[in-house]
């Protein structure tokens, strides 16, 4: 049998896994959640969610992935042959494909804004007064038909090229370059933000907790954010862990990935909140998702010197974060076709990306002229987002915890957490308890509350 590919260095595997985790979830969802839900109080709840739920579920995925050394579906067939548990993998492959469908569209927008920043067209005035209406620009860039499609296709092509080069030469090499670049850009933006006149007020808001805002739905929102941000429940981490060398310490890796992911979210807070106070942005709508990134931030850049440079660097930062996440999502399906169906990598890539083109284009058009086509009241983009992130993702994670906690022989998890007894992991029983007793009911609550 062919020897299974491994990441070639510790740094490479961390960079690739952090690359998957750090994405638009950290950049455009986290600051808004913090602002709406009591500043540092939300941060603390989020931290607790990462420790109690995020890290154990991540370790469950790492353990099965490395134990089986296979793709998300074949992993379950190998560990429990003849049982229907592989359906958990099917759910993961399906969900990651759907998420990739719309995530590529958003990634395409970030690329479009990067080009428009570099060329300067983002800042060409469109009002008689000479000012720029970024809301109108966003409509032109995002809510039309042709422009976003071009950039979505470009993003699809970049993804296909990276995956074509394979795990080591494509995913690992690219992450080794892009992740340090991402952290460097974040630090540069933190310095810029901290030099703003009202920076201290913003930081004070970010770091002082308002516990009166905390209620059940805030906790559920923090749990959901932790899941999405850590790329859990979709088979991404099972797939990546199948490339971890046998000597990788899973506990340390999970802690490092979660910490770095959290760090990016906190750095984003340190960037955004001084901007909020210094430029008097008071409504949370301005901090939400697309509006934050495509309207509020470019507006802020126009009040600074070297507008185009800052804007280009900012959209480079977001494009990098988005790209490494889309690549990890794509690898789930590619690995499935390669491992389970024994297809060549090239054939697998063609068969994943060809159907992705119409799916992504339909998602893109649903922001433009197809917006009136509704499924249960949502346009296609929002429907797929809601269906995959609110249902498929938690269902996958719930089943995985039940599987690892209750079905898999006990020693599989223990062997993986202790590298077959060669390292001491005093925390391993606590992780096992969390997977067995804490994660399933909590994820179930998320699911129910999403359904209501």
Per CB under 6 A, residues contacting ligand PHE are 20-21, 23-26, 99, 228-229, 231, 234, 236, 325, 328-329
Distance (Å) of CA 324 to CA 107, 345, 392 = 10, 19, 22
Nearer to ligand PHE, 80 or 326 (CB): 326
Smallest separation (angstroms) from ligand PHE to the CB of 333: 12
Between CA 314 and CA 297 the distance in angstroms is: 9
Between CA 152 and CA 37 the distance in angstroms is: 33
291, 51 contact by CB (below 8 A): no
Nearer to ligand PHE, 231 or 277 (CB): 231
Nearer to ligand PHE, 186 or 236 (CB): 236
Instruction: Give Cα 329 distance to the centre of its chain.
Output: 9
Q: Residue 253: enclosing H or E segment and its boundaries?
A: helix 250-278
Smallest separation (angstroms) from ligand PHE to the CB of 235: 9
Smallest separation (angstroms) from ligand PHE to the CB of 295: 20
Smallest separation (angstroms) from ligand PHE to the CB of 41: 21
Q: Which of 352, 211, 264 is nearest to 50 (CA)?
A: 264
The residues pairing with 375 across neighbouring beta strands, listed in sequence order, are: 378
Smallest separation (angstroms) from ligand PHE to the CB of 265: 9
Between CA 46 and CA 226 the distance in angstroms is: 7
Nearer to ligand PHE, 181 or 433 (CB): 181
189, 314 contact by CB (below 8 A): yes
Q: Which two tokens stand for residue 310?
A: 């800052």
Q: Which two tokens stand for residue 206?
A: 């970010």
Smallest separation (angstroms) from ligand PHE to the CB of 244: 17
Smallest separation (angstroms) from ligand PHE to the CB of 372: 28
Between CA 172 and CA 174 the distance in angstroms is: 6
Between CA 208 and CA 234 the distance in angstroms is: 34
Nearer to ligand PHE, 20 or 366 (CB): 20
267, 186 contact by CB (below 8 A): yes
Nearer to ligand PHE, 17 or 77 (CB): 17
Smallest separation (angstroms) from ligand PHE to the CB of 411: 29
Between CA 316 and CA 293 the distance in angstroms is: 12
389, 228 contact by CB (below 8 A): yes
324, 175 contact by CB (below 8 A): yes
Nearer to ligand PHE, 277 or 324 (CB): 324
Nearer to ligand PHE, 329 or 363 (CB): 329
Burial readout 228-239 (b: 16 or more C-beta within 10 A, e: otherwise): bbbbbbbbbbbb
Nearer to ligand PHE, 35 or 229 (CB): 229
Smallest separation (angstroms) from ligand PHE to the CB of 396: 10
């Amino acid at each position: 049998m062919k020897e299974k590919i491994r990441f070639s260095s510790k740094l490479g595997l961390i960079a690739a896994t952090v690359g998957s985790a750090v994405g638009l979830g950290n950049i455009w969802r986290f600051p808004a959640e913090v602002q709406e839900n009591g500043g540092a109080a939300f941060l603390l709840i989020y931290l607790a969610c990462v420790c109690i739920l995020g890290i154990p579920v991540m370790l469950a995925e790492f353990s099965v992935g490395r134990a089986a050394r296979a793709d998300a579906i074949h992993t379950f067939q190998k560990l429990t042959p003849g049982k229907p548990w592989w359906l958990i993998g099917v759910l993961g492959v399906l969900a990651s494909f759907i998420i990739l469908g719309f995530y590529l569209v958003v990634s395409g927008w970030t690329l479009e804004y990067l080009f428009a920043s570099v060329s300067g067209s983002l800042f060409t005035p469109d009002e008689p007064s000479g000012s720029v209406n970024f809301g109108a620009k966003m409509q032109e860039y995002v809510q039309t038909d042709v422009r976003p499609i071009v950039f979505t296709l470009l993003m699809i092509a970049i993804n296909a090229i990276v995956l074509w080069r394979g795990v080591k030469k494509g995913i690992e090499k690219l992450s080794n370059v892009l992740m340090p670049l991402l952290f460097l850009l974040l630090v540069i933006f933190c310095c810029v933000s901290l030099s703003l006149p009202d920076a201290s007020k913003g930081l004070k808001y970010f770091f002082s907790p308002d516990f009166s805002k905390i209620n059940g739905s805030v906790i559920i929102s923090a749990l959901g954010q932790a899941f999405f941000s850590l790329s859990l429940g979709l088979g991404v981490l099972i797939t990546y862990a199948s490339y971890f060398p046998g000597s990788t310490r899973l506990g340390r890796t999970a802690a490092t990935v979660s910490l770095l992911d959290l760090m990016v979210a906190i750095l984003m807070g340190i960037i955004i909140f001084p901007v909020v106070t210094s430029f008097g942005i008071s409504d949370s709508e301005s901090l939400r998702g697309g509006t934050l990134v495509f309207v509020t931030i470019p507006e802020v850049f126009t009040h600074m010197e070297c507008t185009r440079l800052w804007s280009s660097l900012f959209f480079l930062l977001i494009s990098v974060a988005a790209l490494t996440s889309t690549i990890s999502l794509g690898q789930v399906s590619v690995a499935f076709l390669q491992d389970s169906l024994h297809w060549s990598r090239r054939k697998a890539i063609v068969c994943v990306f060809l159907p992705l083109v119409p799916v992504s284009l339909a998602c893109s058009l649903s922001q433009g002229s197809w917006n009136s086509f509704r499924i249960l009241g949502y346009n296609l983009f929002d429907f797929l987002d809601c269906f995959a992130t609110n249902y498929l993702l938690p269902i996958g994670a719930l089943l995985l915890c039940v599987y690892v906690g209750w079905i898999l022989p006990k020693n599989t998890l223990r062997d993986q957490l202790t590298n077959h007894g060669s390292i001491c992991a005093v925390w391993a029983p606590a992780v096992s308890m969390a997977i067995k007793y804490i994660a399933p009911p909590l994820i179930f609550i998320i699911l129910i509350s999403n359904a209501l």
